[in-house]
């Protein structure tokens, strides 16, 4: 879509114009695809960081990590396959629906619905546009699933390597089940105790600990700066202030990174920073 076309697509029109002007509908479709290349480039729902740190590190033992990753990978692959089948069915239905028909005239077509089928009036141009839009949207979902499957495969290969070069067996999984629960309950209890002493929510403690863990297959998934150790928060007021100042810097740098504006709040002594935090 050119800038001129985009300007036209953003121009408010009356409902009569929207209904009568066929070109406007195509402009609307072009508007959907305006950032298509970027959509495709970034078409991944759960990032590699999320897959490594949050989908995997809640598993506590290698056998459970392998089983969890295996199931996630299977779900991605099945969703990918069923999406391809669904796409083929949509295309075949469209071709069957309009085979031998006068495409300049509407047709009555029976559609499935709750309580039985109903008939609706259909036009070729609108059906064709709707199908094209559907297929374009499916492409993004397919790319998402393929990206995730690729990284899950890398995780499985790494876990097999850590397991002596062999996939986890059922016997190995069952033998480690008690250890999994021992570690899980310890994890939950520790979060509750630290939360009670620091005021940091259990959910945040849980997420920050996993985010701080080493990467499994991609070093880019390690935190570049990390957090001030939690033991400092537990030591007293000075440690809590250092922890809070570090959090503030991370937040402000993130805002500056997105806005491109220097907030002017990142320099100064600890006393000055504390005053800013307290609004003094």
pTM: 0.82
Domain locations in the chain as residue ranges: 35-175, 227-278
| pLDDT of res. 9 | 60
Q: Is the per-residue pLDDT at 197 higher than 50?
A: yes
Contact yes or no for 121/49 (Cβ under 8 A) = no
Q: Is the per-residue pLDDT at 207 higher than 60?
A: yes
Q: What is the pLDDT of residues 40-86, one digit of tens each?
A: 999 999 999 999 998 888 889 999 999 999 999 999 999 999 999 99
Rounded to whole angstroms, the Cα distance separating 79 from 151 reads 16
| pLDDT of res. 12 | 78
Reply yes or no on domain 35-175 having CATH 2.40.128. no
Tell which wins on pLDDT, 112 or 220.
220
What's the CA dihedral at 235, 236, 242, 247 to 10 degrees?
90
Backbone torsions φ then ψ of 44, nearest 5 degrees: -145, 120
Q: What is the pLDDT of residues 224-251, one digit of tens each?
A: 999 999 888 888 889 999 999 999 999 9
């Amino acid at each position: 879509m050119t800038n001129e076309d985009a300007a036209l697509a953003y121009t408010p029109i009356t409902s009569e114009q929207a209904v009568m002007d066929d070109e406007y509908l195509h402009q609307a479709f072009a508007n959907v695809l305006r950032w298509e290349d970027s959509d495709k480039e970034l078409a991944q729902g759960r990032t590699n960081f999320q897959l490594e740190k949050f989908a995997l590190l809640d598993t506590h033992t290698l056998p459970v990590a392998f089983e969890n990753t295996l199931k996630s990978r299977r779900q991605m692959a099945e969703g990918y396959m069923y999406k391809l089948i669904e796409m083929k069915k949509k295309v075949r239905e469209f071709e069957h629906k309009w085979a031998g028909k006068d495409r300049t005239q509407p047709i009555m077509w029976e559609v499935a619905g709750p309580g039985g089928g109903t008939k609706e009036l259909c036009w070729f141009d609108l059906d064709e546009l709707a199908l094209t839009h559907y297929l374009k949207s499916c492409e993004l979902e397919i790319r998402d699933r393929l990206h995730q499957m690729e990284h899950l495969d890398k995780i499985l290969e790494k876990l097999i390597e850590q397991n002596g070069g062999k996939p986890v067996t059922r016997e190995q999984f069952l033998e480690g089940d008690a250890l999994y629960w021992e570690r899980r309950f310890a994890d939950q209890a520790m979060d509750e105790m630290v939360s009670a002493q620091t005021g940091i929510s259990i959910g945040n403690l849980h997420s920050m600990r996993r985010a701080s863990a080493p990467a499994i297959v991609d070093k880019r998934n390690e935190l570049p700066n990390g957090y001030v150790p939690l033991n400092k928060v537990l030591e007293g007021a000075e440690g809590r202030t250092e922890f809070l100042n570090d959090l503030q810097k991370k937040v402000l740098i993130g805002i500056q990174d997105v806005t491109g504006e220097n907030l002017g709040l990142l320099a100064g002594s600890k006393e000055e920073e504390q005053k800013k935090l307290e609004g003094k």
